[in-house]
Each structure stands twice: as structure tokens, then as C-alpha cells.
Amino acid sequence: QVQLVESGGGLVQPGGSLRLSCAASRTIFVIYGMGWYRQAPGKQRELVASITPDGRTNYADSVKGRFTISRDNTKNTVYLQMNSLKPEDTAVYYCNQVPRYVNYWGQGTQVTVSS
């Protein structure tokens, strides 16, 4: 059974922080790269951070130095620590494989950065 459950979003002021979590089913997590994607209103979904099974990370230029992705392979969970948030980070955030092999998305978690 494929499962991706994102949590941790919310409303935060500019400059604030949030930590997102994503619990995945073991079959789509354990040997795959994982990442965080986001989709802002009227825009295409974009990949902002990824992590390989052995912990190598990669970030979009727009979030480099502010976001940190990590994973706990014992819990099939991937995290996104977001610091120094900006209004342009406002979006629905999703986790999924990188590259993506499953035709499935979770419900996402809304992040709103506003004063």
C-alpha cells in the first residue's frame, strides 16, 4: 500500500521557521531518494530539496542555505527544516520519491508565510 502523509505546515511570519514531516510506506521509501516538492497557486509543482538513501542532499537555489532536508530510515520519514521563511515560500508542500516512480501524491501540507 502506497502512503505519503505530510504534516507540520501552518501560518508563520516572514523570518520564521517550520519543520515539515512526511511518513511514507516502506515500499516507496527504503531504497529510494526522497524529496520535498511545493506548488504555489497558479504555478507548477517544483522540487525544492532531495536526499538520497545514504544522505546526500540537493537544494533548489531559491531555498539553499535556508532549508535542510533529512531522513530517518528507521521510521520511513523525511523532514524539511525551513528557516528564514519568505512570503514566496508560501505553497502546498508535498513529499515523494526522487526520481518519482509512483503515480501517487499525498494530500500535502499548506505553508503560508505572511505578516
Task: Per-residue pLDDT tens, the chain, 115 aa: give them.
Answer: 889 999 999 999 999 999 999 999 988 888 999 999 999 999 999 999 999 999 999 999 999 999 999 999 999 999 999 999 999 999 999 999 999 999 999 999 999 999 9
Alpha carbon distance 82, 68 (integer Å)? 7
Q: What is the CA radius of gyration of the chain?
A: 13
Distance CA 15, CA 51 (A): 25
Check residue 27 and report its DSSP letter: H
List Cβ<8 Å contacts ≥24 apart for 50-53.
50/98, 51/78
